[in-house]
Amino acid sequence: MEFLTEIWSFFTFSEPNVKVVFWGSLILCSISGLVGTFTLLRKRSLIGDVISHAVLPGIALAFIIGQQKNPLYLIIGATITGWISTYLVDYITKHSKIKNDTAIALILSVFFGVGVLLLTHIQHSGNASQSGLDQFIFGRASAMNMSDVWLFSIVGTIITILIVIFFRGLSLLSFDENYSQSIGFPNELLKLILSITTVTTVAMGVQAVGVVLMSALLITPAACAKFWTNKIIPMAILALVISGASGVLGSAISYTYNGMPTGPWIVVVVSLFAFISAFIGRKNGLLKKYLQRSKNNTKILRENTIKLFFNPKTLGETQFSFEDIFAKSKMQRATLKKGLSLLKSDKLITTNQGTYATTSLGIEEAKTIVRKHRLWELYISKFMHLQPDHVHDDAEGIEHVITPEIERELEKELDFPTKDPHDSDIPY
Amino acid sequence: MIDFWIILTASLVATTTAILGCFLIMRKMAMIGDAISHAVLPGIVIAYYISHSRASLPILVGAAASGMVVTYLIQFFNQKVKLQQDASIGISYTFLFAIGIILISLFSGNVDLDQDCVLYGEIAYVPLDHMSIAGHYAGPRQVWILGSTLIIILTSVIIAYRKLVLTTFDPAFASAMGISVVLWQYYLMAGVSLTTVVSFESVGAVLVIAFLSGPAATAFLLTKDFKKMIYLAVGFGISASILGYYTAVWLAGSIAGAIATVIGLQFAIAFIYIQFVRKAHISQTLENKALTEV
């Protein structure tokens, strides 16, 4: 209950500081979601990781030079070292036999090490105003003030405008770099814009999330959005919204517990969004895949069962007992029973005291599936020169995916055949 | 004496990680090391909390459990829901690391761990926590733990050396020979996880990556012979530990941070040497040759 009232007091801005935290984390996280979309699409997510660790020495150096915690200096320092780190990763990968992942791991950890060395040096040298400098490691949104928020809004607006202006070029660069080059887009300029916006975003974002977890804000929202859409504009907007929402929720939670760093909570919230999206997302989501698979399985079971009723001489007349059908099938008992009940509910068969007979609808269905099977057998034995005894297994699978259009093509190609490779009739 | 113990601790970490790092970077798996080193955090914190001690066994179990969780998560995102590899790694380890940090904040007071220690270790305190055998001073506890880890890793690598090398450099040939590439990959990952966990206290989660990738990368620049690469990497690791320690003393900063800085400098020097000096040398030789041929 206390938790709820605390959360309530956060969202009603009951304390003036809360307004700063709210807007600060909203702006920072939204922008990183937007920028992260391009990083993700360019498969450079881990570069975000490098940048976020590499801003630490920049922050420390800016502090040593400026002797105070001026947000603008810190962002400039962070941007410079962050940009150097991406440049170094690319340079090392391009000019030596060192692989990309090694270069990433090396630059990330060495820059971070330098940052830690400088930071501890500042702490031990006992500069009073250094307090609050280590908030950059895990982020403390509550330490932000109104001038920080203004700075974020201005820089954020500039980044957004840059992305909107160069949107076409940036999308093309993200999806197909070589094509973009070949039709004369200024690839190098676009890459520069993207890396500057990424680095600046990270440099600002470390205030709320901290250097260690900043990379999550670039990667995770965009990955969430990718589970819902393949189009870049909706994806960028969705990433922005998810990220902004996580920023606000995360800082609300950390606000209610005293002394809790903001970064981890924001990351946990955004990761939960990612898990939910991975389960119920429309693209590649687990649930979607499961439904698709069970739909396919039902279709295959239905078609395989009706096929068992196909008998050229007595089609539609005979009453089959369950054991007859079971002997013909290669299915488990339970599976067959399920198949039969499917057919019955579709009115393809009728039952009468434990025996089964096909309806006229069922006869057509059985004919169709056997026709597809035999046409395919004939097709591959004729055009791929397979022996007649090798074609059955392939046709068993393909018969379920042949559409009426393909069926017509096959008939035309084979000149409306009457016999399959095993010399059985093809039913029409 | 304190200097000696700290340098010895750092050298033990550096040696173990340098050996494993050579295999990791040749397998393009440097970032998996990164993921594991971050992701073991929640396991370690929970183990600290439950066992109320720094006893090694519960922590190993906890770390192994969260190491398995991160491996599973990466696989889930990458294979079950077809997310690209880099994003899968990124999501999984940041999530677990965040949970770890939250747990530290929640349990603060109950857990003898703080956020800074997670990041850059407490190697300076290593000599304070010492063991005694039969009443005699027997050196810091960490030295014993890291020493035994080194021996375990060294023996495992020597025993399986041929198979590890084969699966690293020619996995297709290895599987044709009937050697399971996956099995040896897990063997290596187990080694990496063990090393990460025991190095955690002294160098922290982030800087252990510098130890894993740095010396190995520098050595890789300088030689094509894999055995030589391992020896060189170990050499670089140990020399970085010594130089790093004195740098840290000079700057009054974090020892692990200073060692990582020295590792970076070593790489930079080797890189510049390869890029400029050796290239200039080669083109000079070619020019001379062309002249004599004329």
Contact B86 A43 (CB under 8 A): yes
CATH no. for residue B161? 1.10.3470.10
DSSP A333-400: HHHHHHHHHHHHHTTSEEEETTEEEE-HHHHHHHHHHHHHHHHHHHHHHHHS---GGGSHHHHHHHTT
Quick one: pLDDT at residue B269?
94
Query: Does the CB of A339 have a partner CB in chain B at under 8 Å?
Result: no
CB A24, CB A208: distance < 8 Å = yes
What range defines the domain where residue B38 resides?
Answer: 2-209
Query: Does the CB of B181 have a partner CB in chain A at under 8 Å?
Result: no
What does the alpha-carbon distance between residue B102 and residue A151 come to, in Å, rounded to a whole number? 29
Q: Is residue B194 part of a domain?
A: yes
What does the alpha-carbon distance between residue A18 and residue A255 come to, in Å, rounded to a whole number? 8
What does the alpha-carbon distance between residue A196 and residue A159 come to, in Å, rounded to a whole number? 9
Quick one: pLDDT at residue A259?
67
Query: Does the CB of A133 have a partner CB in chain B at under 8 Å?
Result: no
| Cα–Cα distances in angstroms (integers) from residue B85 to residues A254, B192, B292, in the given order | 31, 20, 52
Quick one: pLDDT at residue B110?
60
What does the alpha-carbon distance between residue A323 and residue A307 come to, in Å, rounded to a whole number? 16
User: Which of B20, B75, B81, B272 to mutate against chain A (most A CBs within 10 Å)?
Assistant: B81
In A, minimum Cα distance to B218 occurs at A98
Give tens-digit pLDDT for B12-69: 999 999 999 999 999 888 888 888 888 888 888 888 888 776 666 787 888 878 888 8
Nearest to A265 among B102, B252, B274 (CB): B102
User: Which of B95, B251, B275 to mutate against chain A (most A CBs within 10 Å)?
Assistant: B95
| Pairwise pLDDT comparison (B54 vs B286), residue with the higher score | B286
* Structure-block tokens of residue A383: 């055009």
Nearest to B260 among A109, A260, A265 (CB): A109
Residues facing residue B133 across a β-bridge: B136
Chain CA centroid to CA A53, Å: 24
CB-CB neighbors (< 8 A) of A271 in chain B? 91, 94-95, 98
Quick one: pLDDT at residue B116?
67
Query: Does the CB of B49 have a partner CB in chain A at under 8 Å?
Result: no
* Structure-block tokens of residue A23: 């807007």
pLDDT category of residue A2 using cuts at 50, 70 and 90: low
Query: Does the CB of B261 have a partner CB in chain A at under 8 Å?
Result: yes
Q: Which of A199, A179, A244 is nearest to A59 (CA)?
A: A199
User: Which of B13, B207, B213, B267 to mutate against chain A (most A CBs within 10 Å)?
Assistant: B213
Query: Does the CB of B124 have a partner CB in chain A at under 8 Å?
Result: no
| Pairwise pLDDT comparison (A12 vs A357), residue with the higher score | A357
Nearest to B81 among A259, A267, A285 (CB): A285
Contact A104 B116 (CB under 8 A): no
CB-CB neighbors (< 8 A) of B87 in chain A? 40, 45, 219, 222-223
Nearest to A278 among B81, B206, B221 (CB): B81
Is the pLDDT reported for residue B220 higher than 90? yes
In B, minimum Cα distance to A280 occurs at B81
Nearest to A102 among B25, B89, B120 (CB): B25
Query: CA of A58 to nearest chain B CA: how many angstroms apart?
Result: 14
Mean pLDDT for chain B overall? 85
Q: Which of residues 383-402 of A touch B (CB under 8 A)?
A: none
Contact B83 A213 (CB under 8 A): no
Contact B87 A97 (CB under 8 A): no
Mean pLDDT calculated for residue range B173-195:
86
pLDDT category of residue B233 using cuts at 50, 70 and 90: very high
Q: Which residues contact A399 (CB under 8 A, 6 or more apart)?
A: A303, A369, A372, A373, A376
Q: Which residues contact A16 (CB under 8 A, 6 or more apart)?
A: none
Contact B98 A96 (CB under 8 A): no
* Structural domain count of chain B: 1
Q: In this structure, what is the dihedral angle of CA atoms A357, A360, A363, A365, given to the nearest 10 degrees?
A: -120
Q: Is residue B249 part of a domain?
A: no
Quick one: pLDDT at residue B30?
84
ipTM score assigned to the predicted complex: 0.89
Quick one: pLDDT at residue A107?
94
Contact A278 B77 (CB under 8 A): yes
Query: Does the CB of A106 have a partner CB in chain B at under 8 Å?
Result: yes
Q: What percentage of chain A carries pLDDT values higher than 70? A: 93
Is the pLDDT reported for residue A304 higher than 50? yes
CB A69, CB A220: distance < 8 Å = no
Query: Does the CB of B79 have a partner CB in chain A at under 8 Å?
Result: no
Query: Does the CB of B25 have a partner CB in chain A at under 8 Å?
Result: yes
Quick one: pLDDT at residue B229?
94
* In chain A, where the domains are located: 2-283, 285-428
Nearest to A110 among B108, B252, B264 (CB): B264
Mean pLDDT calculated for residue range B96-102:
89
> Is the four-CA dihedral B176, B179, B183, B188 of positive or negative sign?
negative
Query: Does the CB of A28 have a partner CB in chain B at under 8 Å?
Result: no
CB-CB neighbors (< 8 A) of B271 in chain A? 92, 96
Mean pLDDT for chain A overall? 84
The helix-helix angle for A360-383 and A286-307 (nearest 10°) equals 100
Query: Does the CB of A53 have a partner CB in chain B at under 8 Å?
Result: yes
User: Which of B92, B108, B206, B223 to mutate against chain A (most A CBs within 10 Å)?
Assistant: B206
Q: What percentage of chain A carries pLDDT values higher than 90? A: 19
Query: Does the CB of A114 have a partner CB in chain B at under 8 Å?
Result: yes
Contact A124 B252 (CB under 8 A): yes
Query: Does the CB of A105 have a partner CB in chain B at under 8 Å?
Result: yes
Give tens-digit pLDDT for A235-268: 999 999 999 999 888 888 887 776 677 888 889 9
Contact A263 B116 (CB under 8 A): no
Q: Is residue B6 part of a domain?
A: yes
CATH number of A2-283: 1.10.3470.10
Quick one: pLDDT at residue B114?
67
The one-letter amino acid at A194: L
Q: Is residue B64 part of a domain?
A: yes
Chain CA centroid to CA B66, Å: 17
Contact A106 B30 (CB under 8 A): yes
* Lowest mean pLDDT segment, chosen from A211-225, B12-26, B47-61, B250-264: B47-61
CB B233, CB B216: distance < 8 Å = yes
Is the pLDDT reported for residue A313 higher than 70? no
Quick one: pLDDT at residue A128?
45
Query: Does the CB of B45 have a partner CB in chain A at under 8 Å?
Result: no
Give tens-digit pLDDT for A390-423: 888 888 888 888 888 888 888 888 888 888 878 7
Class of the CATH domain delimited by A285-428: mainly alpha
- Write a three-state SS string for B163-187: HHHHHHHCHHHHHHCCCCHHHHHHH
CB-CB neighbors (< 8 A) of B77 in chain A? 223, 278
Q: Which residues contact A136 (CB under 8 A, 6 or more apart)?
A: A55, A56, A59, A74, A206, A207, A210, A211
Query: Does the CB of A258 have a partner CB in chain B at under 8 Å?
Result: no
Query: CA of B293 to nearest chain A CA: how many angstroms apart?
Result: 30
Nearest to B87 among A40, A110, A257 (CB): A40
* Lowest mean pLDDT segment, chosen from A48-57, A264-273, A358-367, B231-240: A358-367
User: Which of A104, A117, A217, A262 to mutate against chain B (most B CBs within 10 Å)?
Assistant: A117
DSSP A119-135: HHHHHHTT-GGGTTTTH
Q: Which of A132, A264, A256, A147 is nearest to A210 (CA)?
A: A264
Tokens 């990738």, residue located = B213
CB-CB neighbors (< 8 A) of A121 in chain B? 251-253
DSSP B124: G
Is the pLDDT reported for residue A127 higher than 60? no
CB-CB neighbors (< 8 A) of B261 in chain A? 110, 113-114, 117
